[in-house]
Structure 1
Amino acid sequence: MAECFFSLTFNQSISLPNKTVATSSSGILAITLHGLFSTIGIIENLLILGVVGFRVRRTVISIWILNLSASDLLATSSLPFFTLYMAKGNTWTLGTTFCRIYSSIFFLNMFVSGFLLAAISLDRCLVVMKPVWAQNYRNIQLVGKICILIWALAIICTIPFYVFRDTIQHPSGTIMCYYSYARFPPSGPYDLRTLCKQRKEALAFMKLVLAFLIPLLIIIFSYIVVSYHLSRRGCRRSYRFVRLVVSVVVTFILCWAPYHLFIIMEVTAPSGSSVGKFASKGMRIAATIGFLNSILNPILYVFSCPDLCRKIKHSLSAVMESVLAEDLGELTRRRSTACSSFSTRDVALQPKTYTETLSLKLGDENDGSTTNSDLH
């Protein structure tokens, strides 16, 4: 197993972990960006899930958005662990099982996002092409079943990446969370190097075709059909629609194309070539850019909707008003409690103070008389 990993990973394309990367300027910048991306993604996706899930009436669009935000929240929530990996000098310290789970979350989001974006595009295409059918059969129950099917397919596609993920101990002492293609060897005779190469290529092209090319073609085809049918009906396409279409396609390409490009370069590059080494260095940056899709999706699909933006602002203002009302109420209650306690204490202390003052005066008089008698 180790032979396969070192021959196909370290010697071919993956540069050795560097413990000083966390202290370099580029390492600090990368860690800061990952932390920033994670914070923004978690906050905005939680906000969308809260508003769309509890304050918006259930519709087909809201079901799509809820599933997309859930997938993006899952991805951005796993990003801090990758940040920790970088901060530790590119060494994995959280165990083998969590290495597989964390990596699987990244690939699960990749498949779910691609499938959901394609499904949303097809949904809009059907609404324009078959309005009568959409009015009769397009409902939240059907969309809910489609979303369950999408998650199931994405989980099935993620299983190979979970199976072949492992923690690899390097002689330098660092631990990598990466592929180990020699796991679960076939029962018959086989060549280890050929087996690992075949598995590596299969996983790379599987991601490229299922998570990128097919969804991208569906998205482009759907919006071309929508634009064509609207123009035939004489409907003027709104600027918001054109902007949304261009933004979705461009964002999807910019976020995921670099990752898949570097993956294919890594797989097809000859062993020890400069192209393979360049691909291994660029793949880390490309993976970070891929996470940006989970941050930009809510902005494109949710914040472009004026009604939903108003609901989000109303929800935030309602939350702030509730918090301020609770704080003011608590402050008022404390003040009233403090005033009542002061009043009660003053009333209780008044006789005692008078008695003490009187006794002190009498004591002073007695002391004074005693002193005078002694003097005489």
Structure 2
Amino acid sequence: METGYTAPEIFFLVTLGIISVLGIMGNGLVIWVAGFRMALTVTTLCYLNLALADFFFSATLPFFMVVLSMQAKWPYGPFLCKLLNIMADTNLFASVFLIAFIALDRCICVLHPVWAQNHRTLSLAKKVIIVPWILALLLNLPVLIFFTTETDENGDTHCHFNTNFWGNITEEEKLQRTVTSVAIIGINRFVIGFTLPMSIIAICYGLIAAKLRNKSMINCLNPMLYVFLGRDFRKKLIHSLPASLERALTEDSAPTNDTTTKSASPPTEAQLQEM
């Protein structure tokens, strides 16, 4: 019986540990700054939701690290089998959908500035921001339906696709239905969870680039990327990371909220970049 770990397994576990620690700390900092230090605007609401999705995804990684270290044995029971997998996948897809949502919001601000200035309200954003979460949850309904714990002939418990879902059928039919179901779920996830949001992001930033040509639009990006890609990153880091994040998230233009003054004059090019 093997008790050690191979080099790839060790590397993978260490990588997951680093991602988890950085994800929890980094996104926790963004949540603190965007949620407690700044006024709630459309932009901070988007970044706050993105940070929450990344934070909760990172928080599930230590549980799966334990499973990997136990050679895929599941020690948490059937309830957490469903819950942890739903949490991980829902927050992962929600993060992708929210990035696409932010790209779409930036695109509207640039291409239709007058409409955005008059209609891009905080109350509307609070309603629309629910859509990425609902889509992510719907995409993971198969996890809620099919995932469960099963005990093999050696007495080891595993959390995976329920092969007994269809009742008393032959092993060949069970295998065929399982393979078909996994393939359909995988294709749906790839198309809806990756191809669609990535296409939206590419199209939106392509339109923005065409509109503003060579102007910098780095502030649609993830707030952590904004900080780390800044030219004066070292100075900001030494000065104050929370203050840097706050500046990165702040809309220099007048906040768009429910009391936004209706204006017929379009914003200047500088304002468009800062929206």
Q: Residue 184 and residue 109 in structure 1: after superposition, are their counterparts in 2 closer, same or farther (change >3 A)?
A: farther
1:225, CA displacement in angstroms?
A: 0.8
Q: Residue 183 and residue 118 in structure 1: after superposition, are their counterparts in 2 closer, same or farther (change >3 A)?
A: same
Per the alignment, residue 248 of structure 2 pairs with: none
Please give the root-mean-square deviation of Cα atoms over the aligned residues, in Å. Answer: 2.9
1:111 paired with 2:93, answer yes
Per the alignment, residue 237 of structure 1 pairs with: 215
Which sits farther off after the overlay, 89-98 or 177-186? 177-186
1:56, CA displacement in angstroms?
A: 1.4
1:226-264 deviation line (CA, Å, top 9, x unaligned): 111223xxxx412xx3x678xx6xxxxxxxxxxxxxxxx
1:214, CA displacement in angstroms?
A: 0.2
Counterparts of 2:78 and 2:24 in 1: how far apart (Å)? 25
Per the alignment, residue 289 of structure 1 pairs with: none
1:177 counterpart SS class: strand
111, 116, 120: which one aligns with 1:134: 116
Counterparts of 1:237 and 1:21 in 2: how far apart (Å)? 56
Residues 220-235 of structure 1: pairs in structure 2 closer than 5 A: 220-231=202-213
Q: Residue 219 and residue 20 in structure 1: after superposition, are their counterparts in 2 closer, same or farther (change >3 A)?
A: farther
Per the alignment, residue 76 of structure 1 pairs with: 58
Residues 317-356 of structure 1: pairs in structure 2 closer than 5 A: none
Counterparts of 1:31 and 1:22 in 2: how far apart (Å)? 13
Residues 196-235 of structure 1: pairs in structure 2 closer than 5 A: 196-231=178-213
Per the alignment, residue 300 of structure 1 pairs with: 225
Which sits farther off after the overlay, 217-226 or 138-147? 138-147
22, 43, 54: which one aligns with 1:40: 22
Per the alignment, residue 266 of structure 2 pairs with: none
Q: Residue 200 and residue 138 in structure 1: after superposition, are their counterparts in 2 closer, same or farther (change >3 A)?
A: same
1:154-193 deviation line (CA, Å, top 9, x unaligned): 212211122111223222343322112542569xxx9434
Counterparts of 1:24 and 1:211 in 2: how far apart (Å)? 32
2:38 counterpart SS class: coil
Residues 124-273 of structure 1: pairs in structure 2 closer than 5 A: 124-183=106-165, 191-231=173-213, 236-238=214-216, 241=217
Counterparts of 2:3 and 2:70 in 1: how far apart (Å)? 9
Counterparts of 1:133 and 1:22 in 2: how far apart (Å)? 61
Q: Residue 85 and residue 69 in structure 1: after superposition, are their counterparts in 2 closer, same or farther (change >3 A)?
A: same
1:31-78 deviation line (CA, Å, top 9, x unaligned): 222222111110111111001111112121111100000000110000
Counterparts of 1:301 and 1:22 in 2: how far apart (Å)? 41
Calculate the TM-score normalised by the size of structure 2: 0.76
Aligned length in residues: 238
Mind listing any 5+ residue stretches in structure 1 that lack a counterpart?
A: 1-18, 249-296, 317-376
Calculate the TM-score normalised by the size of structure 1: 0.57
Counterparts of 1:170 and 1:164 in 2: how far apart (Å)? 17
By relative contact order (CA 8 Å, sep 6+), the higher-ranking structure is 2
1:122 paired with 2:104, answer yes
1:7-47 deviation line (CA, Å, top 9, x unaligned): xxxxxxxxxxxx74753333333222222211111011111
Letter in 2 for 1:128: V
Counterparts of 2:58 and 2:29 in 1: how far apart (Å)? 14
2:129 counterpart SS class: helix
Counterparts of 2:173 and 2:207 in 1: how far apart (Å)? 49
More helix as a share of residues: 1
1:125 counterpart SS class: helix
Q: Residue 301 and residue 97 in structure 1: after superposition, are their counterparts in 2 closer, same or farther (change >3 A)?
A: farther
Which structure would you say has the larger Rg?
1
Q: Is the 8 A contact 2:53 2:94 kept in 1?
A: yes
2:11 counterpart SS class: helix
